[in-house]
Chain A
Amino acid sequence: MQPISVITGRIVALPVQDIDTDQIIPARYLKVTDKSGLAEGLFYAWRFDAEGKPNPDFVLNRPEAQGATILVAGRNFGCGSSREHAPWALQGYGFKAVISPAFADIFRNNALKNGLLTVQVDEDTYQQLVSLFEEDPTTEVTIDLAAQTVTLPDGRQTHFPIDPFTRHCLLHGVDQLGFLLNEEAAIAAYEAAHPARVVTTARS
């Protein structure tokens, strides 16, 4: 994975709470066996009408929202299914980070494993970002992963939490599977001490 340190980009606000992964990417797009082509299904039911024509009222279709790389969304973003297709679709569309007052656990996990930053901010900052976007859709913010800060155009800064291990992996492009593979000795020792009670290959 590419190391990530600072993301500067335009925001687009979708001020809806509890956006579930079925909205982010509907189930009928999950028949793929790779990660490509998912951007087309991103927020499909909101982006397109019943005939498949872009819905001009939906924020991502507005001309001024084109090129935004940071999504600002309401709390409990990514609730629902564990589909990693959700962060893949967001990234495929061009998003590099999502800012929200709260993320669903599995979504955050999946997003960070793919280098899509989940930036949790307090309600006030969230509201400010929504207003900033509404006043000026070209608003840019800067997310600094090393410093764990989001900087607004007027210089206001807010801190966001991220667990130290994930931050380290993202900053240095560390591959988490590689980290686990390095634990081989400890895993083997654990297995030797804990024989399996259930053996799936031995159905009686």
Chain B
Amino acid sequence: MPRTLFDKIWDAHIVRPQTAETPAVLYIDLHLIHEVTSPQAFTELRQRGLKVRRPDRTLATMDHSTPTTPRGPDGIIPVVDAQAAAQLRQLEQNCAEFGIPLFALGSEYQGIVHVIGPEQGLTQPGMTIVCGDSHTSTHGAFGALAFGIGTSEVAHVLATQCLIQSRPKTMEVRVDGRLGPGVTAKDIILAIIARYGVGAGAGHVFEYTGEAIRALSMEERMTICNMSIEGGARAGMIAPDDTTFQYIAGRPFAPKGAAWDEAVAYWRTLPTDEGAVYDRTITLDASHLIPMITYGTNPGMGMPIDGRIPTPEELPDPAARQALDKALRYMDLRPGQSLLGHKIDVVFLGSCTNSRISDLRLAASILKGRKVADGVRMMVVPGSQQVKKQAESEGLDAIFRAAGAEWREAGCSACLGMNDDKVPPGKYAVSTSNRNFEGRQGPGARTFLASPLTAVASAIEGAVADPRRYVRD
């Protein structure tokens, strides 16, 4: 029977099949951990006298609560928040005690967990990958089944390398057509979520297909899969192809020599078979897409950048009307309003959605020779130390600095405001991250989600701006 990409990976990881009474026991190839969602899981292991079953399939990094302030003269990144420092120390101790490799703060490989997996070649097609973090969906860009889990499940995987899982449904998300200049992968995913809603993917795994997806680079594919969770799906996947293999080749954990050929031969068997059936299909035409921006307090409240915020009368559903009303009160915006030219205070270029080298290159390409508008604070936060190093070797940091932007250390930063990188109360930010929830970027912060291009164009103008006028192509 023809099978989907999801079916193939699921079937290949069954330790104990699903029955009428019990869900499946699913084997996990790679378990990524970070400081925020793991401490209580290690406590549970200790209380029960358990070991980590496969430290060699586990890797830890520090990203969420780490500061991104520039290093001191001693090369050390100072952690001033005592609680965060304790949490980081705890991860260090846990990794030492249980034999787990750790990319600690200050090390050359540290970074956002979903940036370092692909960067190191750990993320490969056909794998099952989990992390106590919802944006684990990012790794699905490689044709892996990757999803976020809670801390109880982190303990399950640490102790048994397995999870108890009911089989999700599959949804094809087909994106046809070709993107126009100045329109990016971020705009595709924001458009999908705006059209189909933040709950559309519940109970499903997305597989992105179609001409527009095939044409994307790996880093763009990661941006799309990253936000699958914002569409309600736990995972998003893209079939592996030559673009995927070229990206992986030569990375530290990539297979080498004969093992590489064997791996590629296997990876080529993974794409969805002709005639395989998805439980549901949704579509989007990329050729008519223009840059997108959100105006509300969830990622589904988005529109084309030249659009107008909906009026309550346009929404048939009373609960949606109420949600719009609540969101606009929080954002201090009006129904029917255009956002173009709306004054902003902060620009955040970063997060596991858009902090990779190609994002920084794209942003720098239009910031070069220009200035961040007076009164706007622009933070550039590379996704990892490796991204930072690469950007510096290309002189991108100099472009950002010369424009008046801050060039910071790697981490999650203002994406979730766990450290000091916050948007002040009542202020407006254009952010390349993935969540515009109330208070997400700091108490009272007001977030417009957009692509790196839109973020930079807005930084230059000091107001929400259409990036297409900066892009020649």
Contact = CB atoms under 8 A, between A and B. Distances in A.
Query: Does B associate with A?
Result: yes
Interface stretch (A2-10, A58-66, A152-160, A179-187): A179-187
A197 interface: yes
A105 B84 contact: no
Contacts of B155: 177
Interface stretch (B2-10, B354-362, B434-442): B434-442
B336 interface: no
Given A22-B440, A31-B65, A199-B56, A79 B164 contact: no
A30 B323 contact: no
Contact of A30 (B65, B99, B199): B65
A76 B198 contact: yes
Contacts of A203: 101, 120, 252-253
Contacts of B261: none
A18 B255 CA distance: 42
A114 B150 CA distance: 11
Contacts of A35: 40
Given A45-B443, A197-B255, A200-B59, A186 B15 contact: yes
B202 A105 contact: yes
Interface in A144-170: 163-165, 168
B43 interface: yes
Residue from A31, A79, A191 having most chain B Cβ neighbours under 10 A = A31
B40 A33 contact: yes
For chain A, what secondary structure do more than half of its interface residues adopt (helix, strand, loop), or is it mixed? loop
User: Quick one: which of B43, B166, B298, B320 has the most chain A CB within 10 A?
Assistant: B298
A177 B150 CA distance: 13
Nearest to B262: A197
A16 B320 CA distance: 9
Contacts of A179: 164
B456 interface: no
A198 B21 contact: no
Given A76-B202, A84-B151, A203-B253, A165 B23 contact: yes
Contact of A76 (B27, B37, B122, B232): B232
A45 B65 CA distance: 20
A16 B252 contact: no
A142 interface: no
Contact of A180 (B25, B199, B439): B25
B101 A201 contact: yes
Contacts of B203: 105
B272 interface: no
B438 A198 contact: no
A42 to B, nearest CB: 13
Contacts of B166: 163
A94 interface: no
A28 B199 contact: no
Given A31-B87, A113-B150, A16 B323 contact: yes
A40 B23 CA distance: 35
A110 B232 contact: no
Contacts of A165: 21-23, 164
Interface stretch (B127-135, B175-183, B375-383, B460-468): B127-135
B368 to A, nearest CB: 34
A131 to B, nearest CB: 13
B466 to A, nearest CB: 28
* Among all A-B residue pairs, the 7 with the closest Cβ atoms: A110-B150, A33-B39, A84-B150, A82-B148, A31-B83, A113-B152, A84-B151
10 contacts: A18-B199, A28-B418, A74-B319, A75-B199, A80-B437, A110-B151, A180-B159, A180-B162, A198-B57, A203-B252
Given A76-B199, A179-B164, 13 more contacts: A18-B198, A31-B86, A33-B40, A33-B87, A82-B148, A83-B150, A177-B44, A177-B152, A186-B15, A191-B27, A197-B259, A197-B263, A199-B253
